[in-house]
A and B are shown apart, each in its own frame.
Chain A
Amino acid sequence: MDFRFSEEQTMTADVVRELLADVCQPADLRRLMGAGVARDEARWTKIVEMGLAGALVAEDKGGLGLSAIDFVQIAEACGYAGLPEPLVENAGVVLPLLAAFSANGRAAALLESALVGDVTVTVAHPTNPFVADADTAEAVLVVRDGAVHLIETAKAKIVAQPSVDPFRRLFTVEFEPSDATLIAGADEAAGPLAAALDRGALFAAAQMQGIAQRCVDLGVAYAKERQQFGKPIGSYQAVKHHLATAQVKIEFARPVLHAAAAQLENADLYSRARISQAKLACTDASDVAARTSIQVHGAMGYSWEVDVHFFLKRGIALTNWWGGPAFHRERVAARVFARPLGPEHTFAREAEHA
């Protein structure tokens, strides 16, 4: 039992954090927004050069062979920076899903070019009503009757569903399934699709944890600077207590998120409940932190000029991405109402109770 990250895990996340602090400032976001695009090719190239696209793909399939616990702090850093590019979805969710089907020749070929960063891939997962980044993706993994089809985006009809978040590109995708598009039957696909949902929910939670901390940090910075009644507003207790309350939410979402990441591969009722708990806790933290930050900023917080709204909107988007609160509460309920409870079961696996 050792509930700590390794030095290597923290170092890798630090490198990503530093890169994003360098190339993903709010000014960069605003520039991109002004240009009406959702992807900065120069920044994406830098991310790809770090070799992160294949982070979660097994080494024998050309990836880095990392696991969720290695990636979770990277996803937090992406949330903190409000990264527009699809690192978390592409590397964290879709490529490991694609790799599960690499026995199929088309899937294998696509994986190869995705791993070197030439292309991105996206997924139309049954949990999500929309498909993210379909316009820039080379192909979409689509599920029909439980089976997975691989469709080149050029051959599908994609309809944009504009989001309030300027950097989210959502679409609905229509396609004609055929034997040629099929890459995995329902039996083979069920496990990988469930794993994709787990990773999707976990890394959405991680981004929200980053968003929450960013909102508090923005609020704190402003509260130290802004003066009213001759003093920084951060010296007033009401302001302090708002921010402290948000920080408490963050502090107690974090260990849940990290435990969920560490146990993701157990892929059982217990680990799934923990992932769902993390999604709920991080959603709550980002909601409270974003609203707090706006309140602390006063009218500035309601303005376009202050950056908080980027994070508020990403939080709203991720709240329902890879399952909304009701969906995840039911996954928690499935564990709570049907399995033994109590302190001796905190780290339990289903296998032990079989």
Chain B
Amino acid sequence: MDLDYTEQQKAFRQEVRSWLEKHVPGKPLPSFDTSREGFEAHRAWERVLADGRWGMVTWPESYGGRGLDLIQWLIFEEEYYRAGAPLRVNQNGIFLLGPTLMEYGTEEQKARFLTAMASGDEIWAQAWSEPQAGSDLAAVRATAILERDEYVLKGHKIWSSRAVFADWAFGLFRTDPASQRHKGLSLIFFPLNAPGVRVQAIPQIDGETGFAEIFLDDVRVPAFNRLGGEGEGWNICMATAGFERGLMLRSPARFQVAARKLVELFKAHEAEVEPTVRAAVLQSWMDAEAYALSIYATASRLAAGGHIGAEASTNKIFWSEMDIAMHKAALSILGARAELLRTAPEAGDIGRWLDGYFFSLAGPIYAGSNEIQRNIIAERMLGLPRA
């Protein structure tokens, strides 16, 4: 056990820090969810990152990365959040599909998709959920029928984040229409501007766009766009979901920076708030630290050849519940101003805590609801019998 960074790791942190200081936009970019302009501003930022080869530092150099290890990735993320750099518009691509492609893709597929993903030239959406297939993802009905060397896609996807402006989607389809449940599913990529694709934005809890429905009506894509074998879609999706719940989706640094801001907010209003809020603020800091330490432990284990299993589900529960608690603490510090919009003359330092609180409420739902995660922990970690 050695909890000190090596000289090389310290130097790497400095390198990241000084690059970010020079390049991070001075003003926050407009949201990538609500306008084409904001989306393209984020794409431009992805290109800046890619030019510096900072897009995905863990990827091999041949795909625009630096071939670095997970500890270095954590350091990068820490500096990234510390610098207040823009959210990653291509997170579905780089954090979820990317690692999956590297594990299951052919060399040709990796060459075709990874470089364009790393550069931000192709931004990805995830198209798994359907109106009748939410938690019960194996109930997917959308079909992909092979006709010679093309798949014909048909069906209705929903809740697809970023799909309104994104370029590509990776979807889960039934390639064997006679199949049931987990069998006969395949993971297939399709361009969101292909003939037969219709994308319909769905306003979110705050009234703004964020996710979308996707209607597929005889959309033709080459068989090349299938990741892994036909019928292997379920297993591949579960691997992706592992990345999602495990390391990649939510960097600890995100919460550590939020905890720091919460402490600053608390200090500014200490005289006005009741003592229980102080305990909540301290708990938020402790939880963010606990999550960071846990991810360092996991990264060390993975670096030594270990695997991530059902504990990915414990991560997802922990960070999503922590996120809510942190934002609740902030709202209680803001008191009567918590309900104000930022345009209100008396808004003062309310910041984005209310937006963050709304978004935190989605945490226990997306990436597999926390109820489903608890089922997984109980059955796979604790060995309790299935219902």
Contact = CB atoms under 8 A, between A and B. Distances in A.
Interface string B172-192: 000000000000000000000
Contacts of A110: none
Interface stretch (A19-27, A233-241, A299-307): A233-241
B9 interface: yes
Contact residues on B (Cβ < 8 Å of other chain), bracket = 35 or more
Interface in B243-295: 252-253, 256-257, 259-260, 263, 267, 278-279, 281-282, 285-287, 289-294
Contacts of A60: none
B79 interface: yes
A318 interface: no
A329 interface: yes
A141 to B, nearest CB: 30
A347 B385 contact: no
Contacts of B314: 247-248, 251-252
B1 A2 contact: yes
Given A241-B371, A336-B282, A235 B5 contact: no
A244 B1 contact: no
A66 interface: no
Contacts of A2: 1-2, 300, 303-304
Interface string B357-387: 0000000000000010111011101111111
Interface string A130-164: 00000000000000000000000000000000000
Contacts of A4: 1, 297, 300-301, 304
B130 interface: no
B311 interface: yes
Nearest to A9: B1
Interface string A320-349: 000000000100110011000111101100
What's the dominant secondary structure at chain B's contact region?
helix
B1 A336 contact: no
Contact of A343 (B4, B82, B304, B375): B82
A205 B218 CA distance: 60
Contacts of A255: 290, 293-294, 296-297
A205 B19 CA distance: 41
Given A247-B314, A256-B289, A216 B382 contact: yes
B16 to A, nearest CB: 10
A306 to B, nearest CB: 18
Given A280-B286, A333-B282, A258 B256 contact: no
A240 B253 CA distance: 31
A244 B377 contact: yes
Interface in B284-328: 285-287, 289-294, 296-297, 299-301, 303-304, 311, 314, 317-318
Contacts of B4: 1, 347
A3 B1 contact: yes
Given A220-B384, A232-B385, A248-B318, A346 B6 contact: no
Interface string A249-267: 0011111101100110000
Contacts of A281: 286, 290
Interface of A: 1-6, 9, 69, 216, 220, 223-224, 231-232, 234-237, 239-241, 243-245, 247-248, 251-256, 258-259, 262-263, 277, 280-281, 329, 332-333, 336-337, 341-344, 346-347
Given A1-B300, A251-B318, A258-B297, 9 more contacts: A3-B299, A3-B300, A232-B384, A244-B374, A251-B311, A263-B3, A343-B78, A343-B292, A346-B293
Interface of B: 1-6, 9, 13, 71, 77-79, 81-82, 252-253, 256-257, 259-260, 263, 267, 278-279, 281-282, 285-287, 289-294, 296-297, 299-301, 303-304, 311, 314, 317-318, 371, 373-375, 377-379, 381-387
